[in-house]
Structure 1
Amino acid sequence: MTPYTVLILLVALERLAELVTAQRHTRWSRARGGVEHGSGHYPVMVVLHTGLLAGCLLETALAHRPFLPWLGWPAFAAVLLAQALRWWCIASLGPRWNTRVIVVPGLPLVDRGPYRWLRHPNYLAVVLEGVALPLVHTGWLTASVFTLLNIPLLVTRMRCENAALTMAAPG
């Protein structure tokens, strides 16, 4: 097993940890009257993110992509930065973080952690990882396809989330 395969497997395990966290947070939110919004785009997001991991492995193997240190090491650092940002978002939102758009009515917006500066910092982590993870092993095709498919999904997701947060805002 190559180091890159191990990296992809570690990212897949991280995704599983996110799903476990999200399930726990879903129970917390629903117990407080949380309402899910935009569930229709969620399966597309799951397929796209699964495809990113599969694409990383397939492109590297089938196209014989080399590891280029001048590209791979900075991309790896960006992957680590994306993971750190993602978990900072999760820690900052606490039980309100989720992979789905579930909003508990009446709760104020979170304004700590990376949310002091950005409205959607988790999506910055997604974009950064979507580009950097494939480029660790020169997977420019996977990075390009994921990014192009992710743009309309993120636009849809942010519109959905913004509308849900506006509807649920206190006052």
Structure 2
Amino acid sequence: MIWYTALVLVVAAERLAELAVALRNARWSLARGGTEAGRGHYPVMVALHIALLTGCLAETWSAGRPFVPWLGWTMVAVVAAAQVLRWWCVRTLGRRWNTRVIVVPGLPPVTGGPYRWLRHPNYLAVAAEGAALPLVHGAWLTAVLFTGFNAALMAVRIRCEDGELARLPGTEARA
């Protein structure tokens, strides 16, 4: 279980790196007249992601969840793929990527990278990681709870984000 704890801590460190990028990008966006929407659901999203990481460790350690190799290694691959997709999104959006919903007026929507195929590819990465990370070491309860709460949160988040993106020029072509 030590290696699983290390994996969860690596994911936590990755989250901190995301926050550093998001903070820098938020300053850039706000300096260019960007406006933030969805402030009310943001603290819930942060709490949910902290609960995911905490739940992974708490359930695995307290319930003595076993490592099942065929499931665990498959889920490690899903976690890795989710990280690749997430950072592809970050790279594609560049300074416009953020953990908050901040839209800079006058900028057209991004249609390259994974956004060629999916409207919200980062949320696919979040959903995949949120289900897979707990299942690496059998924390099925955490996986189920995170998936359910995340689906509800994403319904709110995507509605908020789509509303803001609809204000951008060229969005009508993507709708």
Provide TM-score, normalisation by structure 2: 0.96
RMSD: 1.1
Aligned to 1:102: 102
TM alignment of 1:117-128, pairs within 5 A? 117-128=117-128
Residues of 2 paired with 1:59 and 1:169: CA distance?
A: 47
List, as ranges, runs of 4+ consecutive aligned residues in structure 1 with deviation greater than 4 Å.
none
Question: Quick one: which amino acid aligns to residue 10 of structure 2?
Answer: L
Measured after TM superposition, the shift of residue 161 of structure 1 is 0.2
What is the CA deviation profile of residues 67-122 of structure 1, one whole-angstrom value per residue up to 9, with x for unaligned ones?
A: 11010000000000000000000000000000000000111010111000000000
Deviations 1:147-168 (A, max 9, x none): 0111110000000000001123
CA distance in 1, matches of 2:43, 2:111: 29
Q: Which residue of 2 aligns with 1:134?
A: 134
After TM superposition, the structure 1 = structure 2 runs for residues 6-85 of structure 1, keeping only pairs within 5 Å, are 6-85=6-85
The equivalent of 1:156 in structure 2 is 156
SS in 1 for 2:36: strand
Q: Which amino acid aligns with 1:65?
A: R
Q: Which runs of 5+ in 2 are unaligned?
A: none
Q: Distance in 2 between matches of 1:85 and 1:127?
A: 12
Q: Separation in 2 of the partners of 1:27 and 1:162?
A: 22
**Sequence identity percentage:** 64
Structure 2: distance between partners of 1:34 and 1:168: 12
Which residue of 1 is the match for residue 147 of structure 2?
147
- Asked if 1 retains the 8 angstrom alpha-carbon contact of 2:109 and 2:170, the reply is no
Contact 2:73–2:136 (CA under 8 A) maintained in structure 1? yes
* SS of residue paired to 1:102: strand
Aligned residue pair count: 171
Whether the 8 Å CA contact 1:107–1:170 is kept in 2: the answer is no
